[in-house]
């Protein structure tokens, strides 16, 4: 990695991805390139009262001592009611300008002004919220022009504890869904009878995973509360080894998530096979989703890299915190 003081890679932005369980900090150049980065376990739920200043200084203090005028931007749960300062949600449909307008500023003890990006709320009787994912989504849009030009909009999935699926169209987040797939999997495995017959294993069993996906897709009409019991009964009847049951259950849940998403699409005369689709997240998890999506006929779900860094840079550029570089400004 090129040093921050290299003349053609002068530091231009400190960008923070500050979530519930971790803080990642990036030092970005004027063109958005990552010059340096820091990872810290100082997620907002792990901080003592007043701990934001200390965590910020420990992570970014050296960069800012060298260049105190560097602008700072942050996204994620740091802007929640439990965060450093609340950045109230902006509502869907939401574009990058709306995010910029919703930025709140907090003055850090070290003299820097931290610009906190708001989350996005989809109001109504089935509300949905995101914090941090909106920034990743705009990062994906910034780095992939094809997404913005989709005539019927594109679909961006962010697998995880609370998986998000966002419908994006002409540079806006139109609406989105949250599937509690990761957290439900953990609760079922660790706190129901299903975990009792499982045996932990180092190596993922892709056959068992696919079997779970296919079961949800082809025999999931009674719903997840019914299909998950087969994790146990396939074991009782000798059809699924204890080492396979965890991956089978994971496949079942991801399969039900995609089945539900496909049902949403079906109501607008579409389906997963016909959508332009991107994934954002860690490689192993995105790969699980890619193979699961292929069972639903979707074979070109690309994973977008560095969506967080790109998103933070893009929003900072649009907010005028960094001089708009060619790559980003061409899109605004």
**Cβ-count burial of 67 within 10 angstroms (0-12 exposed, 13-18 middle, 19+ buried)?**
middle
Angle at 255 between CA 250 and CA 256, to 5 degrees: 105
C-beta closer to its own copies: residue 122 or 135: 122
**By CB under 8 A, residue 228 contacts its own copies:** yes
**Which of 59, 92, 143, 181 is close enough to bind its own copies by CB under 8 A?**
181
Q: Name the one range near its own copies by CB under 8 A: 60-68, 140-148, 250-258, 269-277.
A: 250-258
For residues 137-176, which are near its own copies according to CB under 8 A? 162
Task: Output the smallest distance, CB 254 to its own copies, in A.
Answer: 9
CA distances from 323 to 12, 150, 314, 318 (A): 8, 29, 11, 9
**Which of 112, 135, 136, 227 is close enough to bind its own copies by CB under 8 A?**
227
Task: Output the smallest distance, CB 14 to its own copies, in A.
Answer: 30
Give phi and psi for 75, each to the nearest 5.
-135, 160
Sign of the alpha-carbon dihedral angle for 299, 261, 21, 192: negative
C-beta closer to its own copies: residue 256 or 310: 256
**By CB under 8 A, residue 257 contacts its own copies:** yes
3-state secondary structure of 21: coil
C-beta closer to its own copies: residue 207 or 263: 263
Q: Are 161 and 131 in contact (CB under 8 A)?
A: no
C-beta closer to its own copies: residue 253 or 272: 253
List, in order, residues 6 or more apart from 158 with CB less than 8 Å away: 133, 136, 137, 164, 165, 166, 279, 280, 281
3-state secondary structure of 159: coil
**By CB under 8 A, residue 223 contacts its own copies:** yes
For residues 68-127, which are near its own copies according to CB under 8 A? 121, 123, 125-127
**By CB under 8 A, residue 183 contacts its own copies:** yes
Task: Output the smallest distance, CB 169 to its own copies, in A.
Answer: 19
**Which of 59, 135, 136, 230 is close enough to bind its own copies by CB under 8 A?**
230
**Which of 2, 21, 101, 192 is close enough to bind its own copies by CB under 8 A?**
192
Q: Reduced to 3 DSSP states, what percent helix, strand and coil does the chain have, rounded to the nearest 5?
A: 45, 20, 35
C-beta closer to its own copies: residue 100 or 277: 277
**Which of 261, 277, 312, 321 is close enough to bind its own copies by CB under 8 A?**
261
For residues 264-323, which are near its own copies according to CB under 8 A? 264, 267
**By CB under 8 A, residue 193 contacts its own copies:** yes
C-beta closer to its own copies: residue 51 or 223: 223
Task: Output the smallest distance, CB 174 to its own copies, in A.
Answer: 16
Tokens for 169, please give them: 């169209």
| Distance from C-alpha of 329 to C-alpha of 295, rounded to nearest angstrom | 38
| Distance from C-alpha of 245 to C-alpha of 56, rounded to nearest angstrom | 42
What one-character-per-residue DSSP string does 47-74 give?
PPTTHHHHHHHHHHHHHHHH-TT--EEE
List, in order, residues 6 or more apart from 145 with CB less than 8 Å away: 331
Q: Where along the sequence are the contacts to its own copies (CB under 8 A)?
A: 121, 123, 125-129, 162, 177-181, 183-184, 186-188, 190-194, 215, 219, 221-230, 233-234, 236-237, 239, 253, 256-257, 259-261, 263-264, 267
């Amino acid at each position: 990695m090129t040093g921050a003081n290299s003349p053609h890679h002068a530091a231009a932005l400190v960008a923070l991805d500050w979530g519930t369980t971790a803080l990642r900090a990036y030092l970005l150049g004027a063109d958005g390139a990552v010059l340096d980065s820091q990872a810290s376990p100082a997620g907002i739920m792990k901080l003592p009262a007043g701990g934001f200043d200390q965590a910020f200084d420990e992570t970014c203090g050296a960069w800012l001592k060298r260049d105190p005028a560097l602008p700072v931007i942050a996204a994620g749960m740091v802007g929640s009611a439990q965060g450093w300062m609340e950045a109230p949600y902006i509502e869907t449909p939401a574009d990058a300008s709306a995010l910029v307008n919703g930025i709140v500023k907090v003055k850090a003890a070290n003299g820097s002004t931290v610009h906190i990006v708001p989350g996005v709320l989809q109001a109504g009787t089935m509300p949905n919220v995101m914090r941090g994912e909106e920034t990743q989504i705009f990062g994906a849009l910034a780095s992939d022009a094809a997404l913005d030009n989709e005539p019927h909009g594109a679909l961006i999935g962010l697998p995880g504890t609370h998986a998000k699926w966002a419908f994006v169209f002409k540079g806006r987040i139109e609406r989105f869904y949250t599937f509690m797939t990761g957290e439900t999997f953990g609760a079922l495995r660790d706190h129901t009878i299903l975990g009792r017959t499982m045996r932990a294993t180092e190596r993922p069993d892709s056959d068992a995973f696919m079997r779970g996906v296919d079961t949800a897709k082809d025999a999931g009409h009674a719903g997840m509360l019914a299909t998950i019991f087969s994790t146990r009964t396939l074991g009782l009847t000798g059809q699924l080894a204890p080492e396979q049951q965890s991956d089978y259950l994971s496949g079942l849940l991801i399969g039900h998530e995609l089945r539900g998403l496909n049902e949403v699409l079906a109501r607008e005369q579409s389906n997963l096979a016909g959508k332009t689709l991107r994934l954002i997240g860690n490689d192993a998890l995105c790969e699980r989703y890619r193979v699961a999506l292929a069972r639903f006929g979707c074979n070109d779900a690309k994973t977008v890299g560095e969506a967080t860094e790109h998103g933070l840079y893009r929003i900072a550029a649009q907010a005028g915190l960094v001089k708009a570089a060619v790559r980003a400004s061409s899109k605004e």
